[in-house]
Structure 1
Amino acid sequence: MTINLEDVKAELDEIDQNLISSFNILSGVDSEKYSGCINLAEIGIEICGKPAILTVGFPKNFPNEIPKFYDSNNLFGDIPHKLANGFLCFTRNESLLIDERYPASILLNCLEKVIKLIEDGVKGENKEDYVKEFEVYWPSILTIYAHIDTTVLTVRELNLWNMKVDKKHLLVAAEKVGLLDDTINNIFGLDVGKATKYRCIYLPLNEGAFILPPVNKKWSFADLKGNIFSNLSEESKKEFNRIVNRPVKGVHPIFEYVIVGLANSNGSVSLFGCGIDGNIINLKSLKKKGKVKKQIHPFVIKPKEANLYPATIKRWHPEYIINRTGGNRNLKDKHILIAGLGSVGSEVAMRFAKAGVKKLTLVDFDYMAFENVHRHALGIDQVFLATDEIFLERPKVWGLKAEINRKYPFTEVEVHLKSIFTIMDEVNISKNDIDLIVIAIGSPNSEMRINKKLLGLPDPPPTIYTWVEPLGIGGHTLVTLNGEKEGCYQCLFKTNEELPIYNRSAFAQPGQDFSKSITGCGSVFTPYNFLDSERSAMLTVETGIKVLIGKLNGNPLLSWKGEDSLFKEYGYKTTIRYTFSSEALNERKYSYKRNDCSVCSNEGVDMHRQ
């Protein structure tokens, strides 16, 4: 429904308000200048005690969509958050709740924000916002996808490749560290061996540098050079000169790129780039008779045609991506070993990669199978490794490495198609090399053996055991070796001479057979679905992150409870522990510990180290 502005005007007349002194409805809308608006009005307001006029644009969906405000007569000059067409960017839509019943009130609430924005700009109180919003103001005809670590504050040369794709130029820049060729091919489909290479220099400006962006006029070559070099330290200028005086090989000779880093007071860095016509100059050579051609940077000698090609910078460095997309920067140096890559372990691996850990070591000797597909992180395309030359069943570790490399290429993945016991015999396991171990084997006997081995080491990493119970009844995550020895996997299995040992954390009563088979003994499995494994994985990763960043104390046993309707339908019985509420389970998360544990008590630890 399109609202009638006469109704808005009438409502304003009825409201006791003093923001709008006049409301004149305009005829005709310049759709290019007032994009997305179907009606316009000029309103009289006061700015810093003086009368002023604003243009208000009303979108088709107003009042379900907020109005737009314009300084169409340029009364306030250049101020932050004002674009070249006079548009005043005063809010993000998601930060404002709209009550469509009162259109005039919506207009007034928005106008309050606009007046404050203008007055702050006129008084110069928000000029720092120019720096924070610099990228918005920077005009661009090119886009550079840049892998730049803005935490490194040195002038340096980057690799930059250009390839024409579908009549457009694909420009990719990257730090000259590590092997990124495969990553670039994976992300952009760009073969750097076939692309044209250019010289590109990253110039981080001095901390506190203030530059007015080109709001209503384009920068000249002199503007660009002056704004950069007036805000570089002497050491940065010397490093720039060292770079441009080095011999240049293998790059396009008559075009240069620069990317500039402008630090903000909030700790972030605005980036803007530019392509510049370059120089090839004939110089006399003493060693070689005649003349030699030398590539001279345009900031050293201005070319006759010093055309500028402003570029938007779109970042793909992990430091930026992780921070921007909700990852945890505290994980960027962490190394996690995951043993067991079934339905739970595979999801744990994918989620830790998504969280931004530096390295994953994956250990499993099993192969992907059709039967795994609907509760595993890998899909049916990872069951086989098939080419014209080979056809193999794919090991789970290979499939997960490929999937993580494809989705999260900045996480290093090391794989071992072996048993975890073999790895424990071959590799020195300590906190110096591994920050966290996750055991997702789902075999109590094997996990008790692993627990004993780890408790016997001089400096074992924190270790988490995770498993799922049948038919959606629940799952568990046990933290061990997190700053203390007391509380381990063996503590869950209290010996009783009258009864067989059983897992005291279980929600299912012991002695029940949950295994199912579809085609005989070769197809035996425990019934649970992907929701159960994913829920356990999420609990494990959330807990693991807390351990890694020091936000979790001791060695708790954490459990999630599912519905028991299907469980009971099959005639199975639950334990008393299942009757506890989630709050009660959390309160008892340390009560599983045993002072007489044969493994983690002081006596037990000493015995296993002998």
Structure 2
Amino acid sequence: MEVNLEFIRKQVLEMDQTLIRDFNPKDDFDKEKYSGFEAMAEIDVLICEEPTTLTVGFPKRFPNVLPSFYDDENQFGSIPHKLPGGLLCFTRIDSLLIDTRYPSSIVLNCLEKVISLIESGITGENQNDFMEEFEVYWIKKSFLDIYAHIDTSNERVRELNLWSKNIPENDFFIAASEKKDDIENLEKLVKHLFKIDISNANKYRCFYIPLKEGTFLIPPLDEKWSFSELKTNIMSNLTEENLKIFNRLANRPVKSTSLEYIIVGLPTPNGNVALFGFGMTGNKIPFKSHKKNKETQKQLHPFILKPKDMSVYNAKINRWHPSHLIGRSGGHIQLNDKHILIAGVGSIGSEIAMRFAKAGVGKISMVDNDRLEFGNIHRHVLGSDQLYYAIEEVPLMQKSKVFGMKDEINRKYPFSKVEAFYKDILTVPEEMDMNKPNFDLIIVAIGSPNTEMELNRLFQGLPEPPPTLYTWVEPLGIGGHTLVTLNGERKGCYQCLFKPDEIEPIFNRSAFAQPFQDFSKSITGCGSSFVPYSFLDSERSAILTVEAGIKILMGKMQGNPLLSWKGDPSLFEESGYKTTIRHSFDSGKLEETKYLYKDSSCPVCSLEGRDTSSIAN
């Protein structure tokens, strides 16, 4: 669609508005400078009660795409959110709804934000935004890309390993942990993530320098910082302790490479840390020697003794430390030091394991003694590529679910530590200490009530049991459940769901399906029987369980509730099955009654029935 500036001009000037004093389309403009724009105009406005002219660019898809505004004459100097070239960043496109019926109103609404931004910059009201946008400005002047694995919560100056690898059309830089013991694991991780082998790459010295809280730096806007500016801005904003650490490390000579690198952590007012970096080289490198033999000469850091003809190259820092990746994607960095155990990694358990890894749980242990089959893959996290081991001597070696899950989690989320145990869950309490703090949370997703009741008795008898969740689905999409136990109290457990009746056999009182109905299906006889439910049911129960688990790990859930979700019962009822009264409860009623399952005479968790001989005082 062609942008009709005359039409917009006429509408704007005829509207009852006070922002635009005049609107003048530009017949000719620099297509290279203003690439992507169909038309340009100059508008006269008042900013801080002074007459001012701004340039407006209209993209081809306007009004579906917002116009852009420029301070072409640099009338306002250096203010936040103004990029080199004068572009004023006044909004994020996804934060503004566009009513395309009124293109002139769109211009006015955008202009109102632009004027507010400029006036805040002139008065200094938004000076802190320089800090929030520091990385954006720095990147504009960057020559290098460094992929950095840095824990910014560690506020001490430290030396990093930095490797440079020449790859087609570019140099690849990796900066990471300074610990020598981590190098081998780091090389494997880099190869896994970036598909690059750094074992034979060039290695250089690199420092991570966190600046002190309250540091205020205006980023380089038009020109790069000189070496002197760079050094002053960094060294004058170190804590006394970090200054001592840096001087000690930097005074330690290294073998001459003629290149040095620094990555700086800048605390921002919003509580984050901006990262920027640079490389330094000079024609005459400073040396220190204790002997006359030139082979013993070693390079000093340029911040200690500046070489002549010093060159500085700004570097964009691309983060890949898990604390940044998890926080950025909605995970919880507080979960990084948590250890969970998942018993059963079938359709539900596999979804739970993957979601906890995605949430940022640091260590996941899984127990299962089942192997993956073709019949599993359409409601399991693992696909057909995890069915068999690739072993030449033993073709068609079927893979266990736990080892398949370990491979899949390591592939997708390599920062999670995963342990796999191919064994019966009932043997695990005999072989390892299940108490806190060895585990922070246990999830039981095996779908076998008899085994789950036995596990419940074992866990209830531990001296310091971790919170334990039981989760399962019901047939044909009717619903699913997650039971929280041992979350700060022992009252309320899995056995409570099976309160005995004098007349009928025990049954799960949380169920939506009436008891004693046969839901198993078979395709080729008894050996192929299964309970019919879909991957969607598994995912819904997994989500319910993981949400509860995260709340527990972060101390945001109290007590032992029974949590349930309800699905569409039409297929269930069409198949001739019957529901319980509990299925008639709406979500409010389910929430209201989530603690009523508890059995005051439960033989496992009640004070009367509990066997206290196995529980430590």
Is TM-score (shorter-chain normalized) higher than 0.5? yes
TM-score normalised to structure 2 length: 0.95
- 1:558 aligned to 2:560? no
Change (3 A) 1:486 1:298: same
Specify the alignment match of 2:113 in structure 1. 113
Aligned-residue RMSD, C-alpha: 1.7
Q: What amino acid maps onto 1:32 in structure 2?
A: E
- In the TM superposition, what are the counterparts of 1:479-494 in structure 2 within 5 Å? 479-494=484-499
Listed one character per residue, the Cα deviations across residues 485-527 of structure 1 (whole Å, up to 9, x for unaligned) are 1111001111123211111111122222222222233222111
- 1:66 aligned to 2:66? yes
Change (3 A) 1:229 1:389: farther
Question: 260, 275, 284: which one pairs with 2:264?
Answer: 260
- 1:539 aligned to 2:541? no
Range moving further from structure 2, 421-430 or 344-353:
421-430
SS of equivalent residue, structure 1 residue 357: coil
SS of equivalent residue, structure 2 residue 43: strand
Change (3 A) 1:592 1:225: same
Change (3 A) 1:303 1:575: same
Deviation at 1:153, TM superposition (A): 1.1
SS of equivalent residue, structure 1 residue 237: helix
Is residue 333–residue 358 contact of structure 1 (8 Å, CA) maintained in 2? yes
Specify the alignment match of 1:585 in structure 2. 590
Q: What amino acid maps onto 1:345 in structure 2?
A: G
Specify the alignment match of 1:230 in structure 2. 236
- CA distance in structure 1 between the aligned counterparts of 2:531 and 2:294, rounded to whole angstroms: 82
Deviation at 1:415, TM superposition (A): 1.6
Deviation at 1:284, TM superposition (A): 4.8
Specify the alignment match of 2:2 in structure 1. 2
Listed one character per residue, the Cα deviations across residues 233-276 of structure 1 (whole Å, up to 9, x for unaligned) are 33322212222233536xx7121111111111111111111111
Specify the alignment match of 1:150 in structure 2. 152
Range moving further from structure 2, 223-232 or 422-431:
223-232
Deviation at 1:544, TM superposition (A): 0.9
Specify the alignment match of 1:420 in structure 2. 425
Is residue 164–residue 173 contact of structure 2 (8 Å, CA) maintained in 1? yes
Change (3 A) 1:355 1:284: closer
Specify the alignment match of 1:355 in structure 2. 359
Question: 590, 595, 600: which one pairs with 1:595?
Answer: 600
Is residue 471–residue 541 contact of structure 2 (8 Å, CA) maintained in 1? yes
Is residue 338–residue 361 contact of structure 2 (8 Å, CA) maintained in 1? yes
Is residue 161–residue 196 contact of structure 1 (8 Å, CA) maintained in 2? yes
Is residue 285–residue 291 contact of structure 1 (8 Å, CA) maintained in 2? no
Listed one character per residue, the Cα deviations across residues 390-430 of structure 1 (whole Å, up to 9, x for unaligned) are 54221111111111111111111112111221111111111
Name the count of aligned residue pairs: 607
Q: What amino acid maps onto 1:504 in structure 2?
A: R
- In the TM superposition, what are the counterparts of 1:498-537 in structure 2 within 5 Å? 498-537=503-542
- CA distance in structure 2 between the aligned counterparts of 1:110 and 1:93, rounded to whole angstroms: 11
Specify the alignment match of 2:178 in structure 1. 176
SS of equivalent residue, structure 2 residue 588: helix
TM-score normalised to structure 1 length: 0.96
Question: 404, 408, 427: which one pairs with 1:399?
Answer: 404
SS of equivalent residue, structure 1 residue 17: coil
Specify the alignment match of 1:96 in structure 2. 96
Listed one character per residue, the Cα deviations across residues 100-123 of structure 1 (whole Å, up to 9, x for unaligned) are 111111111111111111111111
Change (3 A) 1:390 1:246: farther
Question: 462, 469, 486: which one pairs with 1:457?
Answer: 462
Range moving further from structure 2, 512-521 or 436-445:
512-521
Listed one character per residue, the Cα deviations across residues 256-311 of structure 1 (whole Å, up to 9, x for unaligned) are 1111111111111111111111565565544x756522122222222233212211
- In the TM superposition, what are the counterparts of 1:362-377 in structure 2 within 5 Å? 362-377=366-381
Range moving further from structure 2, 414-423 or 531-540:
414-423
SS of equivalent residue, structure 1 residue 332: helix
Specify the alignment match of 1:79 in structure 2. 79
- CA distance in structure 1 between the aligned counterparts of 2:188 and 2:342, rounded to whole angstroms: 25
- CA distance in structure 2 between the aligned counterparts of 1:193 and 1:291, rounded to whole angstroms: 25
Question: 467, 474, 483: which one pairs with 1:478?
Answer: 483
Specify the alignment match of 2:435 in structure 1. 430
Deviation at 1:17, TM superposition (A): 1.1
Specify the alignment match of 1:211 in structure 2. 217
Listed one character per residue, the Cα deviations across residues 356-392 of structure 1 (whole Å, up to 9, x for unaligned) are 0111111111111111111111111111111445542
Change (3 A) 1:98 1:413: same
Listed one character per residue, the Cα deviations across residues 25-44 of structure 1 (whole Å, up to 9, x for unaligned) are 10123233223211111111
Q: What amino acid maps onto 2:107 in structure 1?
A: L
Runs of at least 5 residues in structure 2 that lack an aligned partner in the other structure:
none
Specify the alignment match of 1:385 in structure 2. 389
Listed one character per residue, the Cα deviations across residues 139-159 of structure 1 (whole Å, up to 9, x for unaligned) are 111111111111111111111
Specify the alignment match of 2:49 in structure 1. 49
Specify the alignment match of 1:272 in structure 2. 276
Is residue 284–residue 291 contact of structure 1 (8 Å, CA) maintained in 2? no
- CA distance in structure 2 between the aligned counterparts of 1:282 and 1:410, rounded to whole angstroms: 40
Deviation at 1:79, TM superposition (A): 0.9
- CA distance in structure 1 between the aligned counterparts of 2:294 and 2:222, rounded to whole angstroms: 49
- CA distance in structure 2 between the aligned counterparts of 1:180 and 1:6, rounded to whole angstroms: 61
- In the TM superposition, what are the counterparts of 1:288-327 in structure 2 within 5 Å? 292-327=296-331
Specify the alignment match of 2:332 in structure 1. 328
Deviation at 1:174, TM superposition (A): 1.0
- CA distance in structure 2 between the aligned counterparts of 1:397 and 1:382, rounded to whole angstroms: 11
Is residue 286–residue 305 contact of structure 2 (8 Å, CA) maintained in 1? no
Runs of at least 5 residues in structure 1 that lack an aligned partner in the other structure:
none
- CA distance in structure 2 between the aligned counterparts of 1:90 and 1:486, rounded to whole angstroms: 56
Deviation at 1:538, TM superposition (A): 0.5
Is residue 280–residue 294 contact of structure 1 (8 Å, CA) maintained in 2? no
Is residue 335–residue 360 contact of structure 2 (8 Å, CA) maintained in 1? yes
Is residue 259–residue 272 contact of structure 1 (8 Å, CA) maintained in 2? yes
- CA distance in structure 2 between the aligned counterparts of 1:478 and 1:274, rounded to whole angstroms: 53
Listed one character per residue, the Cα deviations across residues 542-593 of structure 1 (whole Å, up to 9, x for unaligned) are 1111111122221111111112222223222222222222222221111111
Specify the alignment match of 2:226 in structure 1. 220
Change (3 A) 1:387 1:276: farther
* Identity of matched residues, %: 59
SS of equivalent residue, structure 2 residue 20: coil
Q: What amino acid maps onto 2:409 in structure 1?
A: I
Q: What amino acid maps onto 2:3 in structure 1?
A: I
Range moving further from structure 2, 418-427 or 511-520:
511-520
Range moving further from structure 2, 383-392 or 523-532:
383-392
Listed one character per residue, the Cα deviations across residues 64-109 of structure 1 (whole Å, up to 9, x for unaligned) are 1111100001111111111110000011111111111111111111
Is residue 468–residue 484 contact of structure 2 (8 Å, CA) maintained in 1? yes
Is residue 39–residue 58 contact of structure 1 (8 Å, CA) maintained in 2? yes
Specify the alignment match of 1:606 in structure 2. 611
Listed one character per residue, the Cα deviations across residues 148-174 of structure 1 (whole Å, up to 9, x for unaligned) are 111111111111111122221111111
- CA distance in structure 2 between the aligned counterparts of 1:202 and 1:484, rounded to whole angstroms: 45
Is residue 29–residue 40 contact of structure 2 (8 Å, CA) maintained in 1? yes
Specify the alignment match of 1:30 in structure 2. 30
Range moving further from structure 2, 487-496 or 582-591:
582-591
Change (3 A) 1:289 1:201: closer
Specify the alignment match of 1:575 in structure 2. 580
Q: What amino acid maps onto 1:41 in structure 2?
A: A
